[in-house]
Amino acid sequence: MALLGELGESVFGGTPLGVGIAAVAVGAVVLGPRAKPLLKKAIIGYLAASERVRELVAEASEQLQDIYAEARYEFEAGLRGEASADGKPAAEPA
């Protein structure tokens, strides 16, 4: 049984959701074919949730990169003494 725990931790990364899925998998093995639909639904739910988390992280990363690029442009424009995008002189850096 310890081998199944180690296998579950290595496959699912030891996250609480992964541990839960590993427990469902062990239950499916013990309970037999009647638990197969439950196991499939649990795996599908896990995959859907992990995909949504990846999408949210990618969107947040893209927004942070945009903000960084805008701030860097404004900073460099201020160093050169250029006008900002709204036509006003750029503020002097502190």
Phi, psi values for residue 82, rounded to 5°: -80, 165
pLDDT at position 15: 67
Residues 37 and 58: their CA atoms lie apart, in Å, by: 32
Distance CA 25, CA 42 (A): 9
Query: Are 84 and 70 in contact, with CB atoms under 8 Å apart?
Result: no
pTM of the complete model: 0.48
Q: How does pLDDT run across 15-70, given as a tens digit for each residue?
A: 676 777 777 677 666 777 777 888 889 999 999 999 999 999 999 999 999 999 99
